[in-house]
Amino acid sequence: MAHEYDLVIIGRGAAAFSAAIRASEITSNQAAIAMIGFGPIGGTCVNVGCVPSKYIIEASKVANIQRNPRYPGIKPSDPAVAFDKLMESLRGVVEEERKSKYEDVLKFYPNITMYEGKASFISRDTVKVISKLGEEDIKGYNFIIATGSSPMIPKIEGLEDTGYLTSDNVWSLNDLPGEIGILGGGFVGLEIGQALHRLGSSVRIIKKHDTIARGIEREVGIELIRALENDGISFLIERDIEKVYQRGNKKIISTRYKGKREEIEVDEILIASGRKPNLAGLSLENASVQYSDNGIKVNDDFSTGNPSIYAAGDVVDQRYRLETLAAREGAIIASNIFQHSSKGVNLQEVPWAIFTEPQLASVGYTEDEYNRNFGKAVSRVLPLNTVPKARILREDIGMFKIVADENTGKIVGVHVLAPYAAEFIIEGVIAIKSGYTYHDIIDNSHIFPTVAEGIKLTSQSFTRDMTKMSCCVE
């Protein structure tokens, strides 16, 4: 007979853990929860996503400061990077985080049973768990599908034979590639690309379009490319990749550019062409759960075509793939199931960031989107070097853009390319969520001198000519 659980969670990443913990809290640890998964516990974020990428980015900043101290009078020097030592420490940090934030946490929840294996629906309320040890059926009164996403590997002739890196395996490198070609320019490629470049690789990002990705405020994205080029990364745009192959110990990326063949020789290829939802093998048709190549289709409360099956995190067909969003959705679903609520998430209020230097952080509508949907946006753009703190930091590539509703003045989008942008985008989140106008932002005191002041200065620029302002005008 199948084991029976109050809640069966498929996956063991951020969404899964958040859902399991919240469901346990709501039910005083009495809900019997099964968590099914394979691979390292904790899923993408802690093992191959947020944690290692942010670690290497911070380490590479130190190397960069040494090479480019930015202030006259401080002598630059070439950092002696022992890449193998750095990567060993990175893997150590991942292990520590995984242990303290996932493995150790489980002991506080005796109601959660872990199943190692792959889940596949055999009916509307039962999954088969397939593992090396065999198969077993698990029945659930409620399900959460939180199977995450994986790197999308484009179909390119010769790619499999030539070999490539993705964000799943780049962390096991011990030798820094001399020359690296990054295919696709999504945020993963930009973050890892800049980090490897600053540690000493020569990085070329090979892509089709001159922007970063759809849905990014265009001028801010283009400014980020300018910042990265200024850092020393090459962007080879308008390239169609025809094939890749091995020549000696080099990898050749053969592209078509302006009608001509162009070959790019590198030591390693990193694929950064976006991510795809992990749906393979779930047999969702057996459970009446609708999906497409973009992910599982959910209602506003994250329920699916089957009312007792919900989906959370990267596997959902939604605009963003973020740890914070996955975790929030997991917790909300737990409440929707056990507290009979019907909460959702307003994606317009969810911030996201690219942790390059400068950082790109964004929340809400782009100007184009707002105009398309509501037809009445007004916006202001403030160059970073208008902000006193940025001048003190000697940073001049970057910008602030605020999009507001033309009639009400309410803020509907905040897009920032600046140092620390990810740390202060929350002001934009609160503004959008609370329905603040740019006047409301102006009415709040900001600390001088901070980069965050740029949000206030941009708000002021809706009502004043900023070139006529003294430094600290309220």
Chain residues binding ligand FAD by CB under 6 A are 10-16, 36-39, 43-45, 49-50, 53-54, 118-119, 146-148, 167, 188, 278, 281-282, 313-314, 321-324, 326, 355
| Smallest separation (angstroms) from other proteins to the CB of 27 | 4
**Using CB distances below 5 to 8 A depending on partner kind, what does residue 119 bind out of ligand FAD, other proteins, none?**
ligand FAD
Cis-peptide, bond into residue 307, ω within 30° of zero = no
Q: Give me the DSSP letters along 199-265.
A: HT-EEEEE-SSSSS-TTS-HHHHHHHHHHHHHHT-EEE-SEEEEEEEEETTEEEEEEEETTEEEEEE
* DSSP H or E stretch at residue 181: strand 179-183
Which of 10, 17, 19, 27 binds other proteins (CB under 8 A)? It is 27
Which of 302, 338, 436, 462 binds other proteins (CB under 8 A)? It is 338
Determine, following the binding rule CB under 8 A, whether residue 346 of this chain makes contact with other proteins.
Answer: no
User: CB-wise, 142 or 149, nearer to other proteins?
Assistant: 142
Determine, following the binding rule CB under 8 A, whether residue 342 of this chain makes contact with other proteins.
Answer: no
User: CB-wise, 339 or 463, nearer to other proteins?
Assistant: 339
- Name the CA dihedral angle for 46, 324, 7, 340, rounded to a multiple of 10 degrees: 170
| Smallest separation (angstroms) from other proteins to the CB of 28 | 5
Determine, following the binding rule CB under 8 A, whether residue 28 of this chain makes contact with other proteins.
Answer: yes
Report residue 236 as tokens: 């080879």
Determine, following the binding rule CB under 8 A, whether residue 6 of this chain makes contact with other proteins.
Answer: yes
Candidate ranges 26-34, 151-159, 221-229, 415-423; the one touching other proteins (CB under 8 A): 26-34
Q: Give me the DSSP letters along 39-93.
A: SSTTHHHHHHSHHHHHHHHHHHHHHHHHH---STTS--------HHHHHHHHHHH
| Smallest separation (angstroms) from other proteins to the CB of 111 | 10
Which of 339, 342, 346, 444 binds other proteins (CB under 8 A)? It is 339
Q: In what order do the strands lie in the sheet with 250-257?
A: 239-247, 250-257, 260-266
Determine, following the binding rule CB under 8 A, whether residue 141 of this chain makes contact with other proteins.
Answer: yes
E-state strands within 309-457: 309-311, 352-354, 359-364, 377-383, 399-405, 411-418
Determine, following the binding rule CB under 8 A, whether residue 109 of this chain makes contact with other proteins.
Answer: no
**Using CB distances below 5 to 8 A depending on partner kind, what does residue 27 bind out of other proteins, ligand FAD, none?**
other proteins
- Name the CA dihedral angle for 54, 60, 65, 68, rounded to a multiple of 10 degrees: -130
Q: HSE, CB side, 13 Å, CA atoms: give it for residue 374.
A: 15
User: CB-wise, 31 or 48, nearer to other proteins?
Assistant: 31
Determine, following the binding rule CB under 8 A, whether residue 131 of this chain makes contact with other proteins.
Answer: no
Catalog residues that contact other proteins under the rule CB under 8 A.
Answer: 6, 26-28, 30-31, 141-142, 337-341
